[in-house]
Amino acid sequence: QVQLVESGGGLVQAGGSLRLSCGASGRTFSSLTMGWFRQPPGKEREFVGGFSWSGGNTYYAESVKGRFTISRDNAKNTVYLQMNSLKPEDTAVYYCAAKTGYSVWSDYTYWGQGTQVTVSS
């Protein structure tokens, strides 16, 4: 079992920045792949970015590449999503997710509760 808790969501103006945190617990994480997803209002959930904890590569959706950065704090079992140059279309509920496989793109099995990010114009 893996428990994921997101925090850091809120309201920010377009062009601003926000950092989301995802604290993980329940097991060791060296074998996990972690990802961030988001679900805009009225739309389907979409992949934002992700990485394998034991690997060195981080992958991003094209829509956020160059603006969002995923980082990690191994000692705290925490993953961060730094969001810069935010746009109104970034408004969504953001979810932290995990899986035991190595593909960052799909098939996540553990999910956080989500945190709301609202970007005003």
Average of per-residue pLDDT across 102-107:
85
41-55 pLDDT per residue, tens: 999 999 999 998 777
d(CA 99, CA 110): 6
CA–CA separation, 26 and 23 (whole Å): 10
For the segment 24-28, the average pLDDT, to the nearest whole number, is: 78
Q: What residue has token string 């979810």?
A: 95
What is residue 112's predicted lDDT score, i.e. its pLDDT?
Answer: 97
Find the Cα–Cα–Cα–Cα dihedral 65, 39, 99, 28, rounded to 10°: 90
Q: SS3 for 32?
A: coil
Contact present, 114 and 7 (Cβ < 8 Å): no
pLDDT, position 49? 97
At position 89, the amino acid (one-letter code) is: E
